Amino acid sequence: MIKFEQSCLFKIRKIKTHKKEAQKKQANPLIFNTLLFYRTTIHKSYTIIFNQYNLKNQAMTNTKYFFTRFFALSCILFTPFEAYSKADSAPIPKLSVQLHSVRGDVSKDFKSTLKKIAEIGFSGIEFAGRYGPYDNDPIGLKNFLKELGLEVSGVHISLRQLTGSDADKHLAFFKALGTEFIIIPFDSRASQSENIDEFINELKQVNKRVRAMDMYMGYHNHSSEFETFKEESFWDYIAINTPDDLILQLDVGWATFAGVDPVEYVKRFPQRTLTTHFKIRTYKGKPGVVSTSHQVILGEDNFDWKRLIESSIEFGNTRWIVVEQEEYPIPLSPMQAVEASFNGINAILHEVKKNRG
């Protein structure tokens, strides 16, 4: 079902003409909503769906745009119902932790830190350049993770490292480790109007190499990517001008800090939020701030995590929710804060799973 949805829906986002018109009307969510409508009303006449589609047709003055959306709708209508049933049983995302959250513990005792993470109940680890005694031993690290019952949910590495002289070495390490998702955590050019095209071209070139090795490439946002660019945002521009198999690792903390709705972006670019960062960002400055409020613990704040999780499953094709803790409420240590956030999100995940039957 995932591949089918991609084959139909990804054609829409490549349309360059009348881009502003298409984006404002949120073409991708429209098709997805139509799919969901069809799924729940299969016993009714197909004309109901065509009527819903035709209500939007008045705004489609561009011929190419009209026929592309018509094609996507046709794919939906002529797909066996069994295919949609599989979407209802989409897997619940697994929980991982970004090791940057406990970087002090990692530096002091790498093995004990990972053991504690496993004991808390996490399923995976997202690395950010710290591999302890396994810097040159990906097989040894892979075996150690297996002993702990942990998977590699992804790795963070700079684009500069993946275009430098040691690029082959890094990629070989990740492949041997069993990495599936390689994420660029930040690049200043991603929010610079004069340099963003250069950044995107490099990203696409590296993506080709990564995909050839049967791994996936992605980019992780901060708040600056949501600043206005060409009447949308830098994030929109990156998403529209990169391949559909390039992951958009949405950092929820930074997105809300920038004043945007993460759910909207998961829906706007469906099937591309395969991994996402769940965190709360309440301050400006360097990570590691001490907080007097438990509002920085996932599930103890006012954000609607349940709505986001449900949207991530339905629209984002999300496989990993990565807990990232950068604010630590007194008197909790970084590891204790991570455990508290795990418990908060895990409880919501169980609720979502229960509701889905």
101 lies in the same domain as 81:
no
Quick one: pLDDT at residue 286? 73
Burial class (CB in 10 A: 0-12, 13-18, 19+), 123: middle
Domain count, the chain: 2
106 lies in the same domain as 51:
no
Structural domain boundaries enclosing 48: 2-87
319 lies in the same domain as 212:
yes
Output 205 or 12, whichever has higher pLDDT: 205
Half-sphere exposure of 147 (CA within 13 A, CB side): 11
What would the two tokens of residue 95 be? 């929980």
Q: How far apart are CA 220 and CA 187, in angstroms?
A: 9
12 lies in the same domain as 57:
yes
* Residue 267 near residue 273, CB atoms below 8 Å: no
Q: Is the pLDDT of residue 45 over 90?
A: no
Domain end (from 87, 108, 132): 87
Output 353 or 49, whichever has higher pLDDT: 353
Query: What is the DSSP secondary-structure string of 236-264?
Result: HHHHHTS-TTSEEE-BHHHHHHTT--HHH
192 lies in the same domain as 277:
yes
104 lies in the same domain as 76:
no
36 lies in the same domain as 102:
no
For residue 294, what is the DSSP state? G
Quick one: pLDDT at residue 18? 38
Q: How far apart are CA 185 and CA 238, in angstroms?
A: 14
Quick one: pLDDT at residue 34? 47
pLDDT digit string, tens, across residues 124-172: 999 999 999 999 999 999 999 999 999 999 999 999 999 999 999 999 9
223 lies in the same domain as 322:
yes
Burial class (CB in 10 A: 0-12, 13-18, 19+), 168: exposed
CA dihedral 98, 101, 105, 110 (to 10 degrees): 10
SS (H, E, C) 66-134: HHHHHHHHHHHHCCCHHHHHHHHCCCCCEEEEEHHHHHHHHHHCHHHHHHHHHHHCCCEEEECCCCHHH
175 lies in the same domain as 282:
yes
Output 357 or 80, whichever has higher pLDDT: 357
For residue 235, what is the DSSP state? H
Domain end (from 44, 68, 87): 87
Domain end (from 54, 87, 120): 87
At 120, which CATH number?
Answer: 3.20.20.150
For residue 334, the surrounding DSSP H or E stretch is helix 334-355
pLDDT digit string, tens, across residues 299-343: 999 999 999 999 999 999 999 999 999 999 999 999 999 999 999
pLDDT digit string, tens, across residues 254-279: 999 999 999 999 999 999 999 999 99
Residue 325 CB partners (closer than 8 Å, separation 6+): 101, 102, 279, 296, 334, 337, 338, 341
Angle at 258 between CA 180 and CA 188, to 5 degrees: 60
Distances from the Cα of 200 to the Cαs of 9, 165, 209, 213, 290, in angstroms? 22, 20, 15, 20, 36
Q: How far apart are CA 273 and CA 161, in angstroms?
A: 23
178 lies in the same domain as 145:
yes
Put simply, whether the predicted model's pTM sits higher than 0.85 gets the answer: no
Q: Is the pLDDT of residue 287 over 50?
A: yes
221 lies in the same domain as 105:
yes
Quick one: pLDDT at residue 37? 42
What would the two tokens of residue 171 be? 């990629």
For residue 135, what is the DSSP state? T
pLDDT digit string, tens, across residues 48-57: 333 333 334 4
322 lies in the same domain as 196:
yes
